[in-house]
Amino acid sequence: MQSFEWGQIQESQGRRVWRLWLIDEKIDENQPIFCAQIVKHNISFGKSYLYSPHGPIFRRGIIGKIAELGDFLSKKREYFSEFLDAAKKICQEENAIFLKIEPLLKSETHKTYLLETALKKSNKEIQPSQTIILDLEKSEEELISGMKSKTRYNIGLANRHGVKIIQCGELNKERYFEKFWKLLGETSKRDKFHLHSKESYAEILNIKSDYFKNELYLAVLDDDVLAGAIINFFNDKAVYLHGASSSKNRNVMAPYLLHFEIMRDAKNRGFKKYDFWGISEKWPGVTRFKQGFGGKEINYLGAFDLIIDKRWYFLYSLARKIF
């Protein structure tokens, strides 16, 4: 979500995007060591908030060089403070109430230095702070043996029923997308969650580069689409972004085979991780489904807010609780 292409997706939906880079000449005078993509979200009364999903992030391989400068945590705190100063200026220019960040950090040590800046811990997350990640560098046999017995059984059951998995490329792309959109609508009504616009999902599939791609997979039985998933492929990771399933033929367990074949495809293409993108006690059924595939549960620190306008922040937070 910090990729340039993800920013393009946000821009295609009418949101303004900033990309901030921090350079420390003591480490590298030509390349940023720290960056953040920030997205503007408009709310009522001409107000807005800024959001950095899964950011800010440090450049790969740079942590060791930072440590060579001395007090490692002190330097990271310094970089975060400089970032917050720059972000605060943007907030003030854009009439933003606050900035929300959700960096992919895990340790309490990181939490300590974040709270030593101007940030406040927030209990309102946009992206889930818990997820499950499977190691695709394991052999297929190891991956299968790491699954719960019920998951293995359901994968086999879907196979025996004749469920087929389609990786939807450019051929018949629009037809497959229409089927997925219809399935999303059914799923949102059944499970009572909010959908983005149809154009938003279409744009997610349209924007791509040599390093970034979102692909649609469908589980089909005869002429019926029983399940679908949009998967992001970026760097060494495949990430489950959006999913849908039909109330029809639920006994054939199509979603189990769908994810197994996605994992297999990602592994064969050289990706090292499969991220199930969120678990929570608020979603017990979805969480049990994802846990059945094995993998490692990851707990990130969650959301932190930089409050710009205390009065409006209080009113906005109160409205979120009520509505």
Q: What is the pLDDT of residues 81-135, one digit of tens each?
A: 899 999 999 999 999 999 999 999 888 888 888 898 889 999 899 999 999 999 9
Instruction: Calculate the alpha carbon distances from 123 to 129, 262, 302, 310 in Å.
Output: 11, 33, 8, 17
**pTM assigned to the model:** 0.90
**Residue count (the chain):** 323
* pLDDT for the residue numbered 17: 96
57 beta partners: 35
Q: Which domains are present in the chain?
A: 4-128+301-322 (3.40.630.30), 130-299 (3.40.630.30)
Mean pLDDT, residues 59-88 taken together: 77
Rounded to whole angstroms, the Cα distance separating 22 from 222 reads 53
Task: Compute φ and ψ for 100, nearest 5 degrees.
Answer: -110, 130
Residue bearing the bigger pLDDT, 225 or 174: 225
Task: Name the helix (H) or strand (E) containing 285.
Answer: helix 284-291
Which range (1-5, 34-38, 245-249, 276-280) has the least confidence?
A: 1-5
pLDDT digits (tens, 9 = 90+) for 129-170: 999 999 999 999 999 999 999 999 999 999 999 999 999 987
Q: Is the dihedral of CA 177, 180, 186, 188 positive or negative?
A: negative
The packing angle between helices 198-206 and 4-12, to 10°, is: 150
Alpha helices (H) along 32-105: 63-67, 72-93
The pair of structure tokens assigned to 255 is 């979603």
Q: Which residue has the higher pLDDT, 76 or 180?
A: 180
Q: Are 40 and 93 in contact (CB under 8 A)?
A: no
